[in-house]
Amino acid sequence: MEPKFKRVLLKMSGEALRGGEEGTISAEFLARIAAEIKEIHALGIQLAMVLGGGNIIRGLDATKAGIDRATGDYMGMLATVINCMALQEALEKLGVATRIMSALQVDEVAEPYIRRRGIRHLEKGRVVLLAAGTGNPYFTTDTAAALRAMELKAEVLLKATRVDGVYDSDPLKDPQAKFFKRLTYMDMLKQDLRVMDATAVSLCMDSNLPILVYKLADAGNMLRAVLGEDVGTLVGDLPAA
């Protein structure tokens, strides 16, 4: 198997860690994802990963409880640290070396995010788990993923979702939803296709960073994506072989 990419950034929501179950983190799902990441890592692909925190708390949801939006967003950032710690444990049990790098200072459990150090970790074959988003309120983890992908010189941003790509409406609710195999960045923005927020898409467009949207629940999709197989929806253009 010849990988399509040498360095990729994976974006996964915190809700995905539930594995479709009740509660915060599914041990079974976590083990499955760790095993898939190990398989990819074994191919020599350099991996960085941004996790959301929505399985624990989301900033916007916190505002419904009367919490200030900025405070809620910081709470969400801390939730991503917890998720990265859980995935780190699962990966290191499989013998995969990892580093958690955080945009917020939590020295007891994570290194501070420093771009050049992150690149060095990748070059040394460590999976880099990027916590706490951008470190700023009002920015999503999608935006953090786009920013980190550019900073770390990833060749593609892999966006894991509940469905098998980008549609013009939610296919879980609308059986007539139209599937898109290929899209431009402007298609995403003009049609308000909210698989990623507009800030993240704009950042990727400015740097011509391709986005590959795929279904996380289908075992093996992550590997197929990094091998360059026909999976999900491609936004932008892949680099020439």
CATH code for position 205: 3.40.1160.10
Is residue 241 in some structural domain?
no
240 pLDDT above the threshold of 60: no
Do the beta carbons of residue 127 and residue 33 sit within 8 Å?
Answer: no
Q: What are phi and psi of 5, to 5 degrees?
A: -125, 150
Which residue range forms the structural domain that includes residue 30? Answer: 7-235
Is residue 240 in some structural domain?
no
pLDDT tens digit sequence for 183-218: 999 999 999 998 899 999 999 999 999 999 999 888
Which one has a higher pLDDT value, 7 or 218? 7
Q: Is the pTM of this model over 0.85?
A: yes
How many domains, the chain?
A: 1
Do the beta carbons of residue 16 and residue 216 sit within 8 Å?
Answer: yes
58 pLDDT above the threshold of 90: no
Residue 1 pLDDT: 66
Work out the average pLDDT over 122-138.
97
- 187 burial via Cβ count (<10 Å: 0-12, 13-18, 19+): middle
Work out the average pLDDT over 217-225.
89
